[in-house]
Structure 1
């Protein structure tokens, strides 16, 4: 009888590390998570620690394997999805701390916006890499962040021996082999994976960063998603509670893992009408098709970032679930809704929605920390319009409603931009925390006019990482693996009766941007 083997998906999110054990049918057998610490030394600066993250990964992995009830030796492969945060190591490849403290804060987190001025300098060059970024460099990308270090912390910059995306660092830490994923290099580093492209040295010279390739130990080529990296080292295996028979596969950015876990099984030559919406703390919108499509204000096109044979475009909203958390914290009445305010508000607003628009005159511009897509404006700020003098509790409920609809209308604006540039999106594949909210699920369908595919996979991002691990172990194409898995799907159609309500609200939403969405 053949022994069953298992795969492990590791997801390094903004606030926690998670691990999930999957069988070869894609069934999640055991899952655990551990918190990750965050350090905010000043406004717009957000830092984390590889020491802290490694502890969290080891804790979550051990507990996930225990929850699955299997022997650790039967976990034969793992891969990672991670936020696009920037890890810094010194020349001895030890953590290179940005701030003082016991943790050694050596990661610039993806949401850190300290490099806004540097991103503007990159955009002003008009250089070729901008055609792969929707025309505008984001401060959430790695070259501007390293520019900021060079200009503001030159001694620290000169001490760098390794700079890499968080997921790539984990592969290096676990195997001792330094290979960078095409997903991370293409999406966050200005690397062009097309033949005879690679690094644009003219652009790097324009922004005084020609030394970054050597300083950060950046490679001349990128590894394909799912490429076998190597077995776990003895040290990593011992600390993770696994064995050296476990293969580490080159991973991807967390949003792309979510897209693989939900959209992967549906990708084909006609996939231009599908969009993966990975919606949690922030929201990423990933479409992929065989042809290259340049979409102003939307990142990409990124060949191979999701899988070979497809070119991805990525729209995004930097603050979504976190915005709803902020709204709850901002109003004193937020404390009136118990330990699960989002669940309570979902039920309340769905009941009110049956009678019409719960707040027809109240609207929110949700870009409290800038607009990633489709305006690519990190300086844009949020607004609440239409407040009246009524009870604080009622104001809170209405602002929450307006914020929730605004998040969906931001997605609608991204869809419109993509559809004007070579896509024909009419179907959303929803995953992440928003998928657990009955209110948000309904809003995504009704507010965009798209059908919404709801995966029965309980953790699509972890599943996406596990698919990559399975593909490496089985020497198969990740899409073939994704199509073979068990989790089913439900379909939510938009309610035609809600169209007029959302068309009116969306028109008011667009007015908050002074014609910039036209």
Structure 2
């Protein structure tokens, strides 16, 4: 088994929006090495968002070298690197040639130019297939490639022959239940890549890549997952009914289920887990990106605690349009009432995000998804102790915060799973590698304070025509039940 014998660690690589992060982690979750390198974002007019694929590789090399260097600095140079996996931003896509060389820049997850293509295929503009069709129309022939595929191709030296994983392929239209590209995409032919399940061995680090990255040649390269799924693995939320709430610039909820969660509205989608079970989830456009830039967050959190609830009610979209818990491309951020102070305005955003988080869980309950397992907070916002407790109070349910809240840890866990020989479940591997730092309990008196503003937000969203009436009704029913129980 992989947890016995010589010292061993696994490398997780996260291709984020602002940077690439690499973590080298042992079987018990100890971080032996870490590295990071910045990325440049090319934005224009709130619609165009691109990155240079060449910069992805340069950043991976820098971050990996830093992680390997810190490993040697700890006197752990004798540790064997058991394998690595790479995650990327969901929906980011580009075109490459038959050798895997980029022909275009990467269109990022929130690039909004593929409006006509999205309408034609019945998907959100944030998904990869509309953007891939836009690229094919704008630039001509090429092979549809997802962000991590560029890196795994360089690492293995496999070029255009390296398969993508089904997690990143999901938003390109891949049928995760049939585990095949659907017939309606047959016209694209070889433009679409081969697909394997996450956790599948793709190859080994070639000598050229080893020289560039510092990762030993021959290290197994394992098929990864999207950054949201990677964060879920890092949270340990892998048993049915468990959920991970990733709060950064935006809010993403991902859970575990024995069967897919059906949603005719297309708000919730289902990733296929490495073991064949399901990881349903959805992504909202609310989040910390709606907070004003400039004030010190720690200081503002202290001041915001005086406003529970806030004198203003905010739906804090980080960018126009909403995707979860409802689809409303026309939605914009709004505030009802006037904050009494800068701190009250800060409080309104923190509370508005938590209200949306609660509405997302209400929607999942409305769909019949299992939500009775543990809830975990990850993402950059999970560093705020105040916001964590506030969210717990508004949700009215316990929550956990792991020691490490990075998607790169999830990829290290997946690499350990993918290189294992003992038939160990991914959830068991995660249990050994994921440590829990904090366990939070809701305070009943605080939860009661937020019932009225939450109900008012539900009413407002329904009145604006964004929130479907059946969901609004279901939410009020649950809220009444909770009020009676309390």
TM-score normalised to the size of structure 1? 0.82
1:86–1:303: structure 2 CA closer, same or farther, 3 Å change rule? closer
Q: Could you tell me how far 1:425 is from its partner in structure 2?
A: 2.2
User: In the alignment, which of 114, 130, 140 is matched to residue 144 of structure 1?
Assistant: 130
Residues 271-312 of structure 1, C-alpha deviation per residue, up to 9 Å, x if partnerless? 22x2111222222101121122213545555352x3323222
**SS in structure 2 of the partner of residue 22 of structure 1:** strand
* Pair 1:423-2:369 in alignment: yes
Cα distance in 2 for residues equivalent to 1:297 and 1:448: 24
Cα distance in 1 for residues equivalent to 2:313 and 2:257: 38
Cα distance in 1 for residues equivalent to 2:264 and 2:405: 31
User: In the alignment, which of 388, 392, 395 is matched to residue 441 of structure 1?
Assistant: 388
The equivalent of 2:103 in structure 1 is 96
**SS in structure 1 of the partner of residue 256 of structure 2:** strand
**Mapped contact 1:284–1:314 kept (Cα < 8 A):** yes
The equivalent of 2:188 in structure 1 is 212
**SS in structure 2 of the partner of residue 19 of structure 1:** strand
* Pair 1:243-2:216 in alignment: yes
Cα distance in 1 for residues equivalent to 2:311 and 2:400: 28
1:213–1:12: structure 2 CA closer, same or farther, 3 Å change rule? same
Q: Could you tell me how far 1:16 is from its partner in structure 2?
A: 0.4
Residues 61-100 of structure 1, C-alpha deviation per residue, up to 9 Å, x if partnerless? 1111222333387323111121121132235533223xxx
* Pair 1:346-2:301 in alignment: yes
The equivalent of 1:180 in structure 2 is 164
* Pair 1:464-2:405 in alignment: no
Cα distance in 2 for residues equivalent to 1:408 and 1:488: 21
The equivalent of 1:228 in structure 2 is 201
Q: Note the aligned Cα RMSD (angstroms).
A: 2.3
Cα distance in 2 for residues equivalent to 1:459 and 1:18: 12
The equivalent of 1:108 in structure 2 is 107
User: In the alignment, which of 320, 323, 337 is matched to residue 386 of structure 1?
Assistant: 337
1:438–1:2: structure 2 CA closer, same or farther, 3 Å change rule? closer
Residues 455-495 of structure 1, C-alpha deviation per residue, up to 9 Å, x if partnerless? 12x24422210011111222343223113336235321111
Residues 163-219 of structure 1, C-alpha deviation per residue, up to 9 Å, x if partnerless? 221123321221115111121122x11111324x622223x4xxxxx543322x422
* Pair 1:79-2:85 in alignment: yes
**Mapped contact 1:369–1:382 kept (Cα < 8 A):** yes
The equivalent of 1:122 in structure 2 is 121
**SS in structure 2 of the partner of residue 6 of structure 1:** strand
Residues 40-69 of structure 1, C-alpha deviation per residue, up to 9 Å, x if partnerless? 144301000111111111111111122233
Cα distance in 2 for residues equivalent to 1:165 and 1:72: 34
**Mapped contact 1:307–1:479 kept (Cα < 8 A):** no
The equivalent of 1:126 in structure 2 is none
Cα distance in 1 for residues equivalent to 2:269 and 2:44: 35
**SS in structure 1 of the partner of residue 393 of structure 2:** helix
The equivalent of 1:402 in structure 2 is 348
1:401–1:279: structure 2 CA closer, same or farther, 3 Å change rule? same
The equivalent of 1:278 in structure 2 is 246
**SS in structure 1 of the partner of residue 59 of structure 2:** helix
The equivalent of 1:315 in structure 2 is 282
Q: Could you tell me how far 1:415 is from its partner in structure 2?
A: 0.6
**Mapped contact 1:263–1:275 kept (Cα < 8 A):** no
**Mapped contact 1:303–1:309 kept (Cα < 8 A):** no
Cα distance in 2 for residues equivalent to 1:59 and 1:148: 32
User: In the alignment, which of 429, 432, 448 is matched to residue 481 of structure 1?
Assistant: 429
TM-score normalised to the size of structure 2? 0.87
Runs of 5+ unmatched residues, structure 2: 473-486
Q: Could you tell me how far 1:377 is from its partner in structure 2?
A: 2.2
Runs of 5+ unmatched residues, structure 1: 98-105, 124-136, 205-209, 329-333
The equivalent of 2:359 in structure 1 is 413
* Pair 1:38-2:41 in alignment: yes
**Mapped contact 2:10–2:415 kept (Cα < 8 A):** yes
**SS in structure 1 of the partner of residue 301 of structure 2:** helix
Cα distance in 2 for residues equivalent to 1:87 and 1:397: 42
Residues 133-192 of structure 1, C-alpha deviation per residue, up to 9 Å, x if partnerless? xxxx211111111222344x1xx133x1x2221123321221115111121122x11111
Cα distance in 1 for residues equivalent to 2:262 and 2:323: 16
* Pair 1:289-2:257 in alignment: yes
Residues 97-145 of structure 1, C-alpha deviation per residue, up to 9 Å, x if partnerless? 3xxxxxxxx100111111133222222xxxxxxxxxxxxx211111111
Cα distance in 2 for residues equivalent to 1:279 and 1:317: 10
**SS in structure 2 of the partner of residue 277 of structure 1:** strand
Cα distance in 2 for residues equivalent to 1:315 and 1:139: 15
Cα distance in 1 for residues equivalent to 2:22 and 2:460: 41
